[in-house]
Amino acid sequence: MPKIVKVECFPVSTPLKKPVIMPNTRITSIDSVVLKITTDDGTVGFADSGDTSSWYRGELQESIIAMITRVIAPRILIGEDPRNIEKIVAKMDLLVRDNNQAKATVDFALHDLKGKLYGVPVYDLLGGRTTEGSRQGWVLSAGKPEDVAAEAQKAKALGFELFKMKIGHGTLQDDIDMVHAVRDTVGPDAVLTIDANGFWSYEKALHVIRRIDSAGLDLIEQPLAHWDIEGMARLRAQVKTPIYADESAQELHNLKEIIDRRAADGLFIKLQKVGGLVKAQRWLTMARLAGLPVHCGCMIGSGLEHSPAAHLWVANEWASQGLNESIGPLLIHGTMESKNIKAGTDIALNIPKFENGMCYPNEGPGYGIELNESFLISNKTVGVEGRTVEVGSEVAA
């Protein structure tokens, strides 16, 4: 029986080729945690937390590293059989409140490790392959209407089926003008969405959505604050455009409240938000029971960060019907296809294939990812210490 003997956390900062603009936020660098879990036979599972965010998940590199190395590793992981992921997830939920991004990072690494121990891709651990690849959506950073429309046209030409706009470049009227400019550019048949990330009040949301209803958007993502599920239900009754929940839809009890209040027409899942692959499968089952379609987002991250979503989206039948907006590697490297990413510039040496608006998970055991060890050293986050927990000891890296 394999046993976990070492847990290592590495803080990594990856610069973006082009900033991502959102309300009150300008993302220029991805600050993530790379996790390694090693067994007594030398097998190593990898994971990348993806970008940390004080306002989305409320978790930072320091908090993720502390939670994993001071609680999860010494009290749960060390000495445990890494194949018992369900058991480990249950213990994490018992001993750790919230901190879903830290929990997800552990879950991701365990799935990679288990796939390597069994010699199978992670998608085989999730039920086998339902489809060859996932249909991708392109996320448009907030900006001037003409600039956002031009980027949407380029993405459409490369095969993307969905175009998500972010708000917050200027005034509410600028956001309204952006929506109409993009719709005029991509045409009436393209799937077009806008994401408010919970930054609108009820009044602002009602004002804006009524003025963009005529653009025929396929959905509005999280127009109100994460806690205002009742407000989402009220808003949904007042507008034509479907309302989807993201920040509001974290735990299963959140989903139940959304379903009971009829507060959303669909959902967005981020694997870090829900706590990993084990909990994501439960989440998707509940969404399926309620008949709520699901799209997949991301925290923006490397080819390694993207891999859990890539494997889940080709395995889970309900998920595969929705679009996958987990395009972190493309956003980091400022391109719309993986073939344009320069070798050695990512946490993953072999980024999953993004081509013609589709993404395909790597083959091979686990996620099929080769870790770029030199990148972890050269891009170590300044001022943040990594940590290693081994049998009988803990050291700073």
Identify whether 202 is part of a domain.
yes
Q: Are residues 109 and 128 in the same domain?
A: no
Least confident of 15-19, 42-46, 135-139: 15-19
Q: What is the pLDDT of residue 392?
A: 77
Lowest mean pLDDT among 9-23, 130-144, 264-278, 311-325: 9-23
Q: Average of pLDDT values for 126-139? A: 95
Cα(333)–Cα(69) distance, integer angstroms: 30
Strand partners, 374: none
Average pLDDT, stretch 358-363? 96
Task: Answer left, alpha or beta for residue 6, where phi above 0 means left and psi between -120 and 50 means alpha.
Answer: beta
What are the structure tokens assigned to 116, written together?
Answer: 């390597």
Query: What's the rounded Cα separation, in Å, for the pair 261 and 268?
Result: 17
Establish if 248 belongs to a structural domain.
yes
Judgement on whether residues 110 and 221 belong to the same structural domain of the protein: no
Q: Based on the domain organization, do 378 and 230 belong to the same domain?
A: no
Looking at the fold, whether 61 and 140 belong to one and the same domain comes out as no
Residue 128 confidence class, pLDDT cut points 50, 70, 90: very high
**Is residue 23 scored above 80 in pLDDT?**
no
Residue 311 pLDDT: 97
Which tokens sit at 277?
A: 């692959």
Flag whether 156 is in a domain.
yes
Range of the domain at 71: 4-119+371-396
Q: What is the pLDDT of residues 277-325, one digit of tens each?
A: 999 999 999 999 999 999 998 888 999 999 999 999 999 999 999 988 8
Q: Kindly indicate the confidence band of residue 142, based on its pLDDT and cuts at 50, 70 and 90.
A: confident
Block residue for tokens 């309620």:
290
- The answer to whether the CB of 61 falls within 8 A of the CB of 381 is yes
Among candidate residues 294, 339, 334, the one with its CA nearest the CA of residue 316: 294
- Regarding whether 307 and 389 lie in a shared domain, the answer is no
Q: Report whether 348 contacts 304 (CB < 8 A).
A: yes
Q: Give yes or no: residues 47 and 68 share one domain.
A: yes
pLDDT at 294: 96
Q: Is residue 365, in this structure, part of any structural domain at all?
A: no
302 and 194 within one domain = yes
pLDDT class of 394 with cuts at 50, 70, 90: low
CATH number at residue 313: 3.20.20.120
366 within a domain of the structure (yes/no): no
Structural domain includes residue 235: yes
Task: Note whether residue 277 is domain-resident.
Answer: yes
How many angstroms separate the CA atoms of 376 and 8, rounded?
12
| Residue 140 lies inside a defined structural domain of this protein | yes
Predicted pLDDT of residue 169:
82
Residue 101, domain CATH:
3.30.390.10
Predicted pLDDT of residue 256: 98
Question: CA-CA distances (angstroms) from residue 383 to 53, 64, 376?
Answer: 17, 15, 14
- 187 and 77 belong to one structural domain: no
- Identify the residue with better confidence: 21 or 250: 250
347, pLDDT greater than 90: yes
| 100-110: average pLDDT | 98
pLDDT beyond 80 at 152 = yes
Q: Is 0.75 surpassed by the pTM of this model?
A: yes
Averaged pLDDT for residues 178-191: 94
The pLDDT of residue 395: 54
d(CA 279, CA 281): 5
Q: Do 108 and 128 fall within a single domain?
A: no
User: What is the predicted pLDDT for the residue at 397?
Assistant: 52
pLDDT at 161: 87
Do 246 and 270 meet the contact criterion of CB atoms below 8 Å apart? yes
Residue 298 confidence (pLDDT): 83
Q: Model confidence over 47-93: pLDDT tens digits?
A: 999 998 887 888 999 999 999 999 999 999 999 999 999 999 999 99
**Are 170 and 214 in a shared domain?**
yes
Residues 340 and 301 in one domain: yes
- If one counts the domains in the chain, the total is 2
Single out the residue of 243, 293, 288, 286 nearest to residue 263, CA to CA.
243
Which range has the worst mean pLDDT, 20-24, 88-92, 157-161, 313-317?
20-24
pLDDT of residue 27: 82
Q: 186 with 315, same domain?
A: yes
